[in-house]
Amino acid sequence: MSALRNYLNRIKPQFEQGGKLHAFHSVFDGMETFLYTPRTTSAPSGAVHIHDSIDSKRTMIIVVCALMPCFFFGMYNTGYQHMLALGQTSASFWSLLLYGFLTVLPRVVTAYIVGLGIEFTFAQIKKEEIQEGFLVTGILVPMICPPEIPLWMLAVAVAFSVIFVKEVFGGTGYNVLNVALVTRAFLFFAYPAQMSGDKVYVASGTPFGMGEHLPDGFAGATPLGQIATQSGPVLDIVGVNGAPVDTWQAFLGLIPGSFGETSTLCILIGAAILLAFGIASWRIIVSVVAGGLLMGWIANMCATPLYPASFLTSLDQLLFGGFAFAAVFMATDPVTAARTNTGKYIYGFLIGVIAVIIRTYNNGYPEGAMLAVLLMNCFAPLIDYCVVQANMRRRTARLTVKN
Amino acid sequence: MSNKSVFFNPFSKNNPVVVQILGICSVLAVTAKLEPALVMGLSVIAVLAFSNVIISLIRNTIPTNIRIIVQLVVVAGLVVIVSQLLEAFAYDVSKQLSVFIGLIITNCILMGRLEAFAMANRPWASFLDGLGNGIGYTIILVIVGFFRELLGSGTLFGFQIVPQCVYEMGYVNNGLMILPPMALIVVACIIWVHRSFNKDLQEK
């Protein structure tokens, strides 16, 4: 490790004022503080007295670590669904994992290159240090998209959301909407054929000669996608091989879906990591789940063939689709969520309720978690404002009574 | 202000859309394709120029209390004429524009110019002002319509621009460009570029 430190120290003068690589000073600074704790801890004015080794780079890295179980399971599931669609059940664990890895690797690389490229460019123009917000976004984006989303579409969507959702508002920490979710929303509305239907959620490519092309007639709709075309009261959810899907499989995540969001088990592991390190707010996670359960129960009580998803039990509402992923990794984004504790309960609860309302009562959108989080992102500042105002009124009232 | 600056200012420095941020609703509504955007722009130019002249001619006889109603009547009369002309000579485009020709009456640019300029200036200057503002509006409409039709449908004025071989390589038209939100983003980009060239317009 000290060799790396020495190397950085040796090349550092070239990036400082007057050095010949000064144009790339923000890149160097970004890499140095990514690898090592910065020498300076806070503003030199001495106005703050924070002594803690946690900074936003380390916060982001913990989130990335918490995403890893979902990511590895996504790799396995991508290969598993592909082989299942081919009818080959004999493929080894490692070959499934490798297939998924080779499928997703170009997406991750594309998301990082485009997103970080834009971030570095803006940091250089604005003469600021590079913000680390894209560390998480770059890994989140491939995880909430279909496994084989075309690379150029991903690049366009990432560029759009980094520029128009983050940079024009002032960069990391100032965005109103969740950048990763806007990327997905952009893809969803701009290229609907590549983001829905019964073909896109099972990988059909042959990266580096692995796997085989899928037959033309194959259908691999996600559970929620299948439900949207049925009429109940008994919902017939099948896997890509035609066998019925049970709740346990949905919990494990062996169902077609976006790359990283299928496994509720791995999302729970991620949630445990986030909560153990104090990164995510348990208030938001709990209230999103409560909202989803309540609205799922209400919808199930008033189930009607007009809205087939209302025949799902409220537990299934949590297991299918992106609900759990949104609750743990999207709703808890500290920048776009409500800040006050009371506000967090309201914010999370409404996300859960609206997500189930959209996926149940709008047959055009089989999944509503993305739109629910984006909608509540817009309302989070208003919720906070109301909570703070209510608190001030209460305290004023207490004062006047005493006088 | 000279007649020349009255005519040319609204093109850029005092553009009704990107500087005064007026008439945004119709920019969102009619720019999914270039042809209706252009026809809409021409209609607004005609209505704006002639209503400016008429109001300027009668500006000294309009009672102040009911001036808004008088202005509306004049604009409404002109809009009906434009709408009838379009239905007679360009039926398809007038179908595409549907209610938005009628809604020129509510376009903020019209009321703004009538109140701010025609009520206080002579007919020739008012005519130039109406013409200039109408052209300024049309410029933005055409730019937005150009990008939305090119990226959203791959065509311009209905002719295929993006070649078929590009589609065969996997290119797909951007469906979001057809939806109104993207018009706002395109207008925002125009404002962004415009202000970066005109530093005096930047807010502190």
Q: Within a domain: residue A239?
A: no
Chain B positions touching A186 (Cβ under 8 A) are 176
Question: CB B174: neighbour CB atoms within 10 A?
Answer: 23
Residue whose entry in the numeric block shows the structure tokens 């395109």: B186
Nearest CA in chain A to B184: A164
User: H or E stretch including B204?
Assistant: none
Percent of chain A with pLDDT over 90: 39
Higher pLDDT, B69 or A5: B69
Distance, in angstroms, between B170 CA and closest chain A CA?
8
Chain A positions touching B171 (Cβ under 8 A) are 152
Alpha-carbon span A218 to A215, nearest angstrom:
6
Interface contact flag, A153 B175, Cβ < 8 Å = no
First CA to last CA distance, chain B:
27
Average pLDDT over residues B157-181: 87
Interface contact flag, A190 B177, Cβ < 8 Å = yes
Substitution target from B166, B167, B174, B184 for chain A, most A beta carbons within 10 A: B174
Same domain, A251 and A299: yes
Is residue A42 very low, low, confident or very high in pLDDT (cuts 50, 70, 90)? low
Same domain, A123 and A192: yes
Q: Within a domain: residue A255?
A: yes
Least confident window among A26-30, A140-144, A166-170: A26-30
Is residue A309 very low, low, confident or very high in pLDDT (cuts 50, 70, 90)? confident
Distance, in angstroms, between A400 CA and closest chain B CA?
41
Percent of chain B with pLDDT over 90: 42
Chain A positions touching B188 (Cβ under 8 A) are 164
pLDDT digits (tens, 9 = 90+) for A239-295: 777 778 888 888 888 888 888 888 999 999 999 999 998 888 999 999 999 999 999
One-letter-per-residue 3-state SS of chain A: CHHHHHHHHHHHHHHCCCCCCHHHHHHHHHHHHHHCCCCCCCCCCCCCCCCCCCCHHHHHHHHHHHHHHHHHHHHHHHHHHHHHHHCCCCCCHHHHHHHHHHHHHHHHHHHHHHHHHHHHHHHHHHCCCCCCCHHHHHHHHHHCCCCCCCHHHHHHHHHHHHHHHHHHHCCCCCCCCCHHHHHHHHHHHHCHHHHCCCCCCCCCCCHHHCCCCCCCCCCCCCHHHHHHCCCCCCCCCECCCCCECCHHHHHHCCCCCCCCCCCHHHHHHHHHHHHHCCCCCHHHHHHHHHHHHHHHHHHHHCCECCEHHHHCCHHHHHHCCCHHHHHHHHCCCCCCCCCCHHHHHHHHHHHHHHHHHHHHHCCCCCCCHHHHHHHHHHHHHHHHHHHHHHHHHHHHHHHHHHC
Q: Within a domain: residue A383?
A: yes
Average pLDDT over residues B13-41: 88
pTM: 0.87
Nearest CA in chain A to B175: A190
The reply to whether B176 touches chain A by the CB within 8 Å rule is yes
Least confident window among A168-172, A176-180, A337-341, B40-44: A168-172
**Identity at B63, one-letter amino acid code:** P
Total domains present in chain B: 1
**CB hemisphere CA count around A142 (13 angstroms):** 33
Interface contact flag, A189 B176, Cβ < 8 Å = yes
**Inter-residue contact A121 to A23 (CB < 8 Å):** no
Higher pLDDT, A160 or A245: A160
Domain limits at B12? Answer: 3-201
Question: Mean pLDDT over all residues of chain B?
Answer: 89
Q: Who among B170, B171, B176 is closest to A186 (CB)?
A: B176
Two tokens, residue B160: 């295929």
Is residue A403 very low, low, confident or very high in pLDDT (cuts 50, 70, 90)? low
Same domain, A289 and A342: yes
Nearest CA in chain B to A165: B185
Q: Within a domain: residue A158?
A: yes
Same domain, A79 and A184: yes
The reply to whether B81 touches chain A by the CB within 8 Å rule is no
Same domain, A170 and A302: no
Burial profile A189-222: b = 16 or more Cβ within 10 angstroms, e = fewer: bbbeebbbebbbbbbbbebeebbeebeeeeebbb
Q: Within a domain: residue A373?
A: yes
Same domain, A256 and A386: yes
Interface contact flag, B174 A190, Cβ < 8 Å = yes
Same domain, A181 and A264: no
Domain limits at A271? Answer: 228-234+246-390
Same domain, A68 and A196: yes
Distance, in angstroms, between A314 CA and closest chain B CA?
33
Higher pLDDT, A8 or B113: B113
Chain A positions touching B167 (Cβ under 8 A) are none
A48 pLDDT above the threshold of 70 = no
Please state the ipTM of this predicted complex.
0.86
CA distance readout (Å), A221 to A71, A192, A227, A365, B117: 21, 14, 9, 14, 61
Distance, in angstroms, between B140 CA and closest chain A CA?
20
Chain A positions touching B174 (Cβ under 8 A) are 156, 190-191
Same domain, A368 and A275: yes
